Structure 1
Amino acid sequence: MLRLMTAASLLLIGTPAFAQITVLGNGLAKSCFESALIPQASSNSAIQTCTRALNEQPITATNKLATLVNRGILYMRAEKFDAALADYDKALAMAPDNGTVLLNKGAALLSMGDYDRALETLTEAIEMNPADVHSAYYNRALVREQLGDLNGAYFDLKKSLEFKPDFDLALRQLDRFVVTENS
């Protein structure tokens, strides 16, 4: 039987992974998407661009869903988690079976420290097999570690790497684990 431990000094929660949704065409919704792609982007002006896209320009339902998710990512980076959750809930009202939306909602709940709801939401996202399922497994691993389930965290990190072997965030987290055999 395997026993897993993480280095105590590194028990800090890792950075959650996000999954942007591509916007087709041009305009403010496209600018919002491009801002969400930049890891450092979280400025009020980027969030305002997304808001303007939703309120001032006619956009398709698909691009509206994408813009809500992308603005939610920007809100999360600005640590405005309630606003991010509100956007994800609006997106889920439009597309309740969208695993990418659930992945991002789970990341927000993780960032807020609501680990039980994050675990449930991320598990649901994984069941829907979104394009970025590796990120859902990675985020669920972070949640499981916070809940004290080191075995679950370890195996979720391994699963994340099955889907994306070069996923740096998962590789770094996995390096913290020490696997020993119980006698």
Structure 2
Amino acid sequence: MNRLIFGAALAAALSMGAAARASVTVIGGGLAEACSKAALSGKAEIRLERICTEALEKETLSSRDRAGTYVNRGILKMRRANWEGAQSDFNEAVREKPDLGEAYANRGAVFIGMHKYADSLPDLNKGLALGVEAPAKVYFDRALAYEGLDDAKSAYFDYQKAVELSPDWEAPKTELARFHVERKE
């Protein structure tokens, strides 16, 4: 049986914005595509949110692209720690397209940002079950949630899964380095 020992770094990970975001790619030109690119850019400027809002108000979008634009605007809001605004956008995305895994995964990340770790797990799990473009990010977020719930073993295995799925991504490797695994006789 393995026993896990680790240092507490969850608060540091959250304060550095380590919770991962899963954007939705929208193509075809126009404001919705610009919103998608803004979410992918890593920037958090309020003017980028306005582009997303304008896309939602002025463009005729498919259900997927409309939900994706809500997700992308929610990501921009998360980057500024506007948890309530982001949650509202992810709720709208779920209403628009209930099978969009990224909407659930990001809503789970909002709960992590709000330190509501137990509340994040159903959404993170549903996002994984529905499928997301970057599952490593969701496993990473779920690991953060497990750490917040003092479940080191589950956190360890989710960090491992994130590394397995995205071996070049440093964030889960850094988190795994904090763990010490010992064999119990």
TM over 0.5: yes
Whole-angstrom distance in 2 between the partners of 1:69 and 1:34:
12
Matches within 5 A, 1:87-166: 87-166=89-168
Counterpart of 1:22 in structure 2 is 25
Counterpart of 2:3 in structure 1 is 3
Counterpart of 2:54 in structure 1 is 52
Counterpart of 1:66 in structure 2 is 68
Task: Please give the secondary structure, in 1, of the residue aligned with 2:19.
Answer: coil
Task: Please give the secondary structure, in 1, of the residue aligned with 2:85.
Answer: helix
What 5-or-longer segments of structure 2 have no aligned partner? none
- Give, as a single letter, the amino acid of the residue that structure 1 aligns with 2:163: L
Counterpart of 1:31 in structure 2 is 34
Deviation of 1:126 (Å) = 1.8
Identity %: 34
Deviation of 1:162 (Å) = 2.0
Whole-angstrom distance in 1 between the partners of 2:114 and 2:129:
23
Q: Under a length normalisation based on structure 2, what TM-score does the superposition of the two structures give?
A: 0.92
Whole-angstrom distance in 1 between the partners of 2:162 and 2:169:
8
Deviation of 1:47 (Å) = 0.7
Counterpart of 2:45 in structure 1 is 43
Stretches of 4+ moved more than 3 A in 1? none
Deviation of 1:11 (Å) = 4.3
CA RMSD, aligned part only?
A: 1.4
What 5-or-longer segments of structure 1 have no aligned partner? none
The answer to whether the 8 Å contact 2:31/2:54 transfers is yes
Deviation of 1:5 (Å) = 1.6
Task: Please give the secondary structure, in 2, of the residue aligned with 1:12.
Answer: helix
Deviation of 1:91 (Å) = 0.6
Give aligned pairs, total.
Answer: 181
The answer to whether the 8 Å contact 1:13/1:146 transfers is no
